[in-house]
Chain A
Amino acid sequence: MAQIPNLDNAPVNLTSIREHSQKELINILKNVRGKKCLVIDPKLGDSLSLIIQSSILKEQGVELRHLSADPIQSDCTKIVFLVRSQPDLMRFICSNVHDDVSKGLQREYHVYFVPRRTVVCEKVLEDEKLHHLFTIGEYPLYLLPMDEDVLSFELDLSFKECLVDGDASSLWHIAKAIHKLEFSFGVIPNVRAKGKASVRIADILNRMQAEEPVNSSDMVMPEINTVILLDREVDMVTPLCSQLTYEGLLDEFLHINNGSVEIDGSILGLPQDGKKTKVPLNSSDKLFKEIRDLNFEVVVQILRQKATSMKQDYTDMTTTTQSVSELKDFVKKLNSLPEMTRHINLAQHLSTFTSKPTFLGQLDMEHTIIEAQSYDICFEYIEELIHKQEPLITVLRLLVLFSITNSGLPKKHFDYFRRELLHSYGFEHLATLNNLEKAGLFKKQESRSNWLTIKRTLELVVEDTDTANPNDIAYVFSGYAPLSIRLVQHAIRSGWRPVEEILKLLPGPHLETRRGGFSNSPSFDTLSGIPTSMAKVPDGRRALVLVVFVGGVTFAEISALRFLSAQESMAYDLVIASTKIVNGQTLLETFMEKLG
């Protein structure tokens, strides 16, 4: 399975993390002797495919099944359930077991919770009077390497849970994941956090260190120098904008799931049998690594250039006599042909979307909203979208963006939009609107908006962006520099202090501390900047900054961070961790209440 990315080039040893998770899973399976049927919750199955090949599982005498309400079809007498701790999944398990009981089947049941057992879930088993049948265990999978420089906690709903349901359990999960990283790479000395959730995570992290300390004495130098924690809530503008990088667009239109997209075979020029093909997208694909972070316009040009040069080589080849070494070069180039055809096909498919007037109109509107100069135009545009009954999610993206940049809409307009939405899309969406209001994403205006100040001070809108030779992160959105990444930029360069005024305008508190064995030595002054001597790890590698997005990160933001990391003046390697990789659509979808 090519879907598992090669992690050899990762700035920290992520391979070891992955191998560790692999081993833990295999140990669990070894503990159940003989043939067994592993029943995985489908969501988790996707994630596991990034850790372990199914062939390895088969070697362990495992039959794989997906968990659903239907009874398990298997001859195995030993069943291992591997599930996230969610009560509704427990109901599936119960119905499966009840089914076995009614058929008179005697089986041995094991339940492993990922990443840990919860009282609620076990209560469900107790209520069904099945608790005694199970052997219960945990599979502590807290984070998943998605690529050389990207980690995911796989917490799809964390953002909504924190903002709407007031459920902060995901924060514990994140802190635990970081703490586990510290066991491998040493205590992270610098912590910078912005946003309510982030500050809480920093707090939990400190408590974990106090309760279960990482022994720092035998570590000469911690591998991770700084962790920057950022709430998604702090910057909701960026994920709502349409991403314009290659990978970002792939995600917007085709939905990248755990490092691969599933598309119609016909797009890739395969025979049209209506079958879906999975295309892995990660840094193991050299061409993709080269173009994933570029603005899509440029990607098209590069692919065209490559194709023409290939064609040139080919004609050279047929017309003139070649030396053996030249032939060898040519064959080498030919080897990259499948990759190229694949990306040319994908790019072509994408351009059918990007050339649509509706898409261009939407881009235009996003920029107008971000400019925040022409309220009426935006208002009328969105009104028209609703009247034309364009897809609800498209409307909500713009509407939320509009509401955030204006820190809410005047009550009259707020009610008007809500009424029009309910009339056009049905009253069942009242629950969704309510979620959005509760999360502060679409709300009544209560104070004047600070957006203009924020935009100006952080230089979020950059004129004359050269997408081909970018000199600023604004290239990822063709002119808009993502707020979140600007903050990271400042945090890395100088710490929070110089931007404190701006931070105060953004939601949530901020925090900056030093921890571990370093906490007693430095005076207050060194708190704000990392001393230059710290910036270089002895072996010449750059020091590492872990950037954690609490509530999701977009591919465009990852691209922007990679761009920063590639700058010469940058003293750090960046590794990104997020609750989930999101885009405007997937993020808002978590707020949609499914009724009926």
Chain B
Amino acid sequence: LLWKESWELEKNPMASKGSPLHGPRTKLIEKAQNLFAETKEHTFESKAAEEHAKLLRLQHELEVTTKQAIFVDSSISDTIRTCIVLGNHRAALKVKTEFKVSEKRWYWLKVFALATIKDWAALEKF
């Protein structure tokens, strides 16, 4: 039952996707995280919810600094790619360390992103 309840919470924020009310959304997800955390079997789900909330906050910040509403609701990988495409390598690195992205994935993302913007020089270097 507990699980179901938290599940609904997970779903709710999705239903209000795209709404500018990110504050309540992150709160809901955090609540879900706590509910997940109460049972032993759902440590993974709880972790995921925690990361999700963190991601949303980070994306929100990015949107404020870049003044482009393109970050929220994209995945971690997509966020990194967007950062690199925009030439914001520092932000990309920050996302990488925040979420402990493995080197392997990081390289793939970087290669793809650099190829998208045809930054062959940077690609060569790396």
Contacts and interface: CB of A to CB of B under 8 A. Distances in A.
A422 B17 CA distance: 17
Interface string A379-390: 000011011110
Interface in B98-114: 99, 101-102, 104-105, 108-109, 112
A374 B16 CA distance: 44
Give the residue among A425, A431, A596 with the most B Cβ atoms within 10 A.
A596
Interface string A418-453: 111011111110110010000000000000000000
A387 B105 contact: yes
B104 A427 contact: no
Interface stretch (B61-69, B71-79, B118-126): B71-79
Nearest to A415: B44
Contacts of B51: 422, 427
Contact of B48 (A384, A422, A595): A422
A430 B10 contact: yes
A428 B15 CA distance: 11
Contacts of B49: 427
Give the residue among A420, A426, A427, A428 with the most B Cβ atoms within 10 A.
A427
Contact of B76 (A383, A423, A431, A595): A423
Nearest to B74: A426
A510 to B, nearest CB: 31
A596 B14 contact: yes
B93 to A, nearest CB: 16
A423 B58 CA distance: 14
A427 B11 contact: no
A424 B15 contact: no
Contacts of B55: 427
A425 B75 contact: yes
Q: Is the interface of A mostly helix, strand, loop or mixed?
A: helix
Contacts of A430: 10, 45, 48
Nearest to B106: A387
Nearest to B12: A595
Given A425-B75, A428-B14, A430-B10, A387 B44 contact: no
B77 A595 contact: no
Given A388-B108, A418-B44, A430-B48, A424 B10 contact: no
B108 A427 contact: no
B75 A423 contact: yes
Interface in B65-97: 73-78
A423 B15 contact: no
A132 B105 CA distance: 60
B57 interface: no
A383 B104 contact: yes
Nearest to B81: A389
Contacts of A419: 44, 48
Contact of A426 (B18, B73, B108): B73
Nearest to A411: B44
A423 B77 contact: yes
Contacts of A383: 104
Contacts of A415: 44
Contacts of A427: 48-49, 51-52, 55, 75
A436 to B, nearest CB: 14
Contact of B11 (A384, A388, A426, A431): A431
A387 B75 contact: no
A510 B37 CA distance: 39
Nearest to A418: B44
Interface string B25-42: 000000000000000000
B14 A424 contact: no
Nearest to A593: B11
Contacts of A425: 75, 77
Nearest to A386: B105
A424 B105 contact: yes
Contacts of A420: 102, 105
Given A595-B14, A595-B15, A596-B14, A424 B77 contact: yes
A386 B104 CA distance: 11
A35 B104 CA distance: 67
A424 B75 contact: yes
Contact of A596 (B15, B44, B45, B99): B15
Interface string A84-116: 000000000000000000000000000000000
A596 B112 CA distance: 28
A389 B77 contact: yes
Contacts of B52: 427
B99 A423 contact: yes
A385 to B, nearest CB: 10
A336 to B, nearest CB: 48
Interface in A579-594: none
A384 B112 CA distance: 13
B105 to A, nearest CB: 4
Nearest to B43: A415
A431 B48 CA distance: 11
| Leading 5 A-B pairs by shortest Cβ distance | A596-B17, A595-B14, A426-B75, A427-B52, A596-B14
5 contacts: A384-B108, A418-B48, A420-B105, A427-B52, A430-B48
Interface of A: 383-384, 386-389, 415, 418-420, 422-428, 430-431, 434, 595-596
Given A389-B78, A427-B48, 12 more contacts: A387-B108, A388-B112, A418-B44, A419-B44, A422-B48, A422-B51, A422-B75, A423-B99, A423-B105, A427-B51, A430-B10, A596-B14
